[in-house]
Amino acid sequence: MHPGRALAIVVRPMISLQSYVRGQWIAGNGDPVTLHNPANAEVVGDVRPGGVDHAAALAHARGVGGPALRAMTFRQRAEMLKGLSKKLHEHRDELIEISGRNGGNTRGDAKFDLDGATGTFAYYASLGKHLPETPWLTDGDGVQLGRTARFWSEHVLLPRPGVALLINAFNFPAWGMAEKMACALLAGMPVISKAGTASAMLAWRCAQIMVDSGLMPEGAFQFLAGSVTGMVDLLQPMDVVAFTGSARTGSRIRGNPNLIAHSVRVNIEADSINAAVLGPDTDVDDDTFTQFLANVHLDMTQKAGQKCTAVRRILVPEDRLDEVKEALIDRLQATRIGDPLDENVRMGPVASQAQLDDVRAGIKHLQDECDTVLGGPEAMDGPGYFVRPTLLQARDVGVAVVHELEVFGPCATILPYDGRAASAAELVNRGGGCLVASVYSDDKSWVHELVPAIAPWHGRVWLGSEKTMGHALGPGAVLPGSIHGGPGRAGGGEELGGLRGLQFYLQRTALQGDRAVIGRTYGNGESS
Ligand code: NAP
């Protein structure tokens, strides 16, 4: 039976999403963009662009939200994040249902997104509890600048008196919004959050819950359901843009003349052709091999492969090829695909018709240079945006397309290699800069040769070994204590990473002068 056919028919009202701007919910006035249930292609709602005065929204954030947040201490802002985490968690079941209905997420996928959101708010709340009561943070120790210790310098970090424009991709409507909000709000910057349109219903409902909580001061949070185009042209020097999405849109934003002219800070989290490398020392019975299989399978099927951190290239020693293919085929074939809200289903559809078209075209493109091990781009019968889990094998591992084309769906390509660390590094780095590489080996000298060769090209290097089995989430999970982002192709951005994540929203200023004034007031220095 086609996966979409098992769906129960429940009639629900069409929902028209609204934006929350200047303390009010506002409907757009442009042509509606319809939102679908990806499991059966039914229309579930719409978003209308327009109707929002971008300049007034920005002024409201800068003039009302910013001062209110800066009047709070870090600890008070941390309390606010804790409250937001609790409020969203109270609505978890309702939000899981929305995540399935307008996003195609299985219950597991929805929890990954939602618990990621509440967990990130809670994590930053706990970090903020330990920050000082001062309106600034000091950065490092003070330094003597003059002939004597009288002339002194302290580096201080203060919230930028502007607005943080947060632009999110469609694939993580809850976590994507929360991870940016947590850092910006704790730092003391008001936010305007824009959801990816295709799955905006979940972000909109989270926004409603957070607004209704009354936890955030007026102007600290605004939400855009429609288009944000044009708003970046109005940003000013103290504003920032944190963007997550495709490399193409990221480049457009980075190249915006207004942002360049005013040196507006921009952080780009873009796409990435992440690699998993199986070391030559692993055997089929090893825990390390088991972890490798489990993580590759999870990355290919979780959120139907729509994760920026998902494995796209699988490097396998030539003498392990048959075992790896056989084991992955078994796991992928056993993956139950269907109605995402059915408890037993492990993989849902991709998020939209556009996404389905892109994924199928991308698989066809890869097939020009790769053999098909399993799956393919052929349409599945019936309604909905379902894609077959697709495993390919490159005929020539050097061919550009497998290192450059992101197929944002349940698809990955095996690249056989000779088992040498240098060969693996050379292939992995052809990704041109990635969010994460995962490496599976218990041969420490092989790992020590590989890691320094690939680390500069990656935001994270995830090392799986016998000792780590069962101890951690896989490389596809972004945890707030470690940085997220990657160089080059991945956008060159950096988010999260504990308190490092706040720095984007804070201005570092070196105060220089009489130590009695500077050291005592702003730092730990003793007055002389
Ligand atoms: P996208 O098409 O680039 O859109 C991303 C966001 O930018 C959306 O909110 C989109 O709004 C908005 N946007 C589009 N044009 C814009 C413009 N001219 N000015 C300002 N904003 C604009 O990406 P997507 O399809 O939503 O997301 C999938 C991509 O995101 C994948 O390539 C994936 O790898 C990447 N991604 C990266 C990360 C990471 O952390 N590195 C995380 C998740 C996803 P509309 O939706 O209204 O068009």
Sequential DSSP letters for 183-242: HHHHHT--EEEE--GGGHHHHHHHHHHHHHHT-SPTTSEEEESS--TTGGGG--TT-EEE
**Which of ligand 1's atoms lies nearest the C-alpha of 198?**
46
Which of 54, 166, 167, 252 for mutating ligand 1's site (highest number of atoms within 8 Å of CB)?
A: 167
Q: Give pLDDT, residue 379.
A: 79
Closest listed residue to residue 20, CA positions, set 187, 203, 253, 232:
203
Q: To the nearest 10°, report the CA torsion of 16, 21, 24, 26.
A: -30
Q: How far apart are CA 215 and CA 210, in angstroms?
A: 7
- Domain definitions of the chain by residue range: 15-270+494-514+518-522, 274-479
The whole-angstrom separation of Cα 201 and Cα 396 is 43
Number of Cβ within a 10 Å radius of residue 35: 26
Q: Which atom of ligand 1 is nearest to 272's Cα?
A: 34
% of the chain exceeding 70 in pLDDT: 97
Residues known to be catalytic: 269, 308
Report residue 523's pLDDT band, with 50, 70 and 90 as the boundaries.
confident
Ligand 1 pocket test, pick from 246, 458, 478, 494 with the greatest ligand atom count within 8 Å of Cβ, gives 246
User: pLDDT tier at 12 (50, 70, 90 boundaries)?
Assistant: low
pLDDT of residue 296: 98
pLDDT tens digits for 385-435?
A: 999 999 999 999 999 999 999 999 999 999 999 999 999 999 999 999 999
Nearest CA to ligand 1 atom 4: 245
Element (H, E) at 496: strand 495-496
- Which among 189, 193, 71 is positioned nearest to 504, based on CA atoms? 189
Distance, in Å, from the CA atom of 327 to the CA atom of 289, rounded to the nearest integer, reads 10
Tell how far the Cα of 269 is from the centroid of ligand 1, in angstroms: 9
Q: From atom 10 of ligand 1, which residue's Cα is the shortest distance away? A: 196
Q: Which of 170, 306, 405 to mutate to test the pocket of ligand 1 (most atoms within 8 A of CB)?
A: 170
Q: What would the mean pLDDT of 206-213 be, rounded to a whole number?
A: 98
Q: Find out whether 269 and 495 touch, Cβ atoms under 8 Å.
A: yes
Ligand 1 center to 168 CA (angstroms): 6
Q: Count CB atoms within 10 A of the CB of residue 5.
A: 14
Kindly indicate the confidence band of residue 524, based on its pLDDT and cuts at 50, 70 and 90: low
How many angstroms separate the CA atoms of 124 and 81, rounded? 7
The tens digit of pLDDT for each residue in 47-95 reads 998 889 999 999 999 999 999 999 999 999 999 999 999 999 999 999 9
Query: What does the pLDDT read at residue 399?
Result: 96
Atom of ligand 1 nearest to the CA of 495: 40
Lowest mean per-residue pLDDT among 1-10, 139-148, 391-400, 420-429: 1-10
Phi, psi of 8 (to 5 degrees): -75, 145
CA–CA separation, 151 and 292 (whole Å): 56
Categorize the per-residue pLDDT at 3 as very low, low, confident or very high, splitting at 50, 70 and 90. low
- For residue 38, report the distance from its CA to the centre of ligand 1, in Å: 18
Look at ligand 1, atom 32, and give the residue with the nearest C-alpha: 246
Ligand 1 atom nearest 227 alpha carbon: 47
Q: How far is the CA of 352 from the centre of ligand 1 (A)?
A: 14
How many angstroms does the Cα of residue 390 sit away from the middle of ligand 1?
24
Atom 28, ligand 1: which residue's CA is nearest?
245
Q: List pocket residues of ligand 1, CB cut-off 6 Å.
A: 167-172, 194, 196-197, 227-229, 244-246, 249, 252-253, 269-271, 308, 406, 408, 435, 490-491
CA nearest ligand 1 atom 17, residue: 229
SS (H, E, C) 280-343: CCCCCCCHHHHHHHHHHHHHHHHHHHCCCCCEEEEEEEHHHHHHHHHHHHHHHHCCCECCCCCC
AA letter at 208: Q
- Ligand 1 atom nearest residue 252's Cα: 18
CATH architecture of 15-270+494-514+518-522: 3-Layer(aba) Sandwich (3.40)
Ligand 1, atom 18, lies closest to the CA of: 229
Q: What is the pLDDT of residues 362-382, one digit of tens each?
A: 999 999 999 999 999 997 877
Confidence of residue 4 (pLDDT cuts 50, 70, 90): very low
> Do the domains 274-479 and 15-270+494-514+518-522 match in fold?
no
What pTM, to 2 d.p., does this model score?
Answer: 0.94
* Class for the domain spanning 274-479: alpha beta
Mutation probe of ligand 1 site: the residue of 34, 234, 244 with most atoms within 8 A of C-beta: 244
How far apart are the CA of 250 and the centre of ligand 1, in A?
Answer: 8
The ligand 1 atom at the shortest distance from the C-alpha of residue 484 is 40
Cα 247 to ligand 1 centroid, rounded to whole Å = 8
Ligand 1: centre distance to CA 493 (Å): 14
